[in-house]
Amino acid sequence: MKRLIVATLAAGCLVSFTPVFAAADDASVFDKWMNPGAPECVPVSALRLVSRVTDLTAEQFQFVRALYVAIPPVSRTLPPGDRAVMASSGGSVMLAVVADGQACARFLAPDFIQAMLIQVGQRVTVGLGTPL
């Protein structure tokens, strides 16, 4: 009986981790721009070839720029750019600060960052101690 329980739990773990691996596969469309050997800047037109690119609002641009600065390794300067875009493909989202049609500051955005980005775009404000 113990073996059956252990086998069931092990099988359940394998099944529950499948979506995590599937999400990792979705990121592959952005891998060539996220690895250490990637060019510093990528034309936004190249992103449009492999993903749906959405222009973000001025407020969302400031949010994306601040996130980029805070993500390790922490930057001591603001990234170049005057707007931001969100590139979506499958279940993956890449955010980028854009300067002269080039996406130079890029990072993958997990679900919770995407949710906050939407709230910023909708100008949602939350009071102290107020759950979302």
Judge whether 65 and 105 are in contact, CB under 8 Å.
yes
Structure tokens at 24: 């990792």
What digits encode the pLDDT tens for the residues 9-40? 333 333 332 223 334 444 579 999 998 899 99
Helix H or strand E encompassing 37: none
What digits encode the pLDDT tens for the residues 106-127? 999 999 999 999 999 999 888 7
Structure tokens at 117: 């980005």
Q: What is the β-pairing status of strands 42-43 and 83-89?
A: unpaired
Helix H or strand E encompassing 114: helix 111-121
| Statement: the pTM of the whole predicted model exceeds 0.85 | no
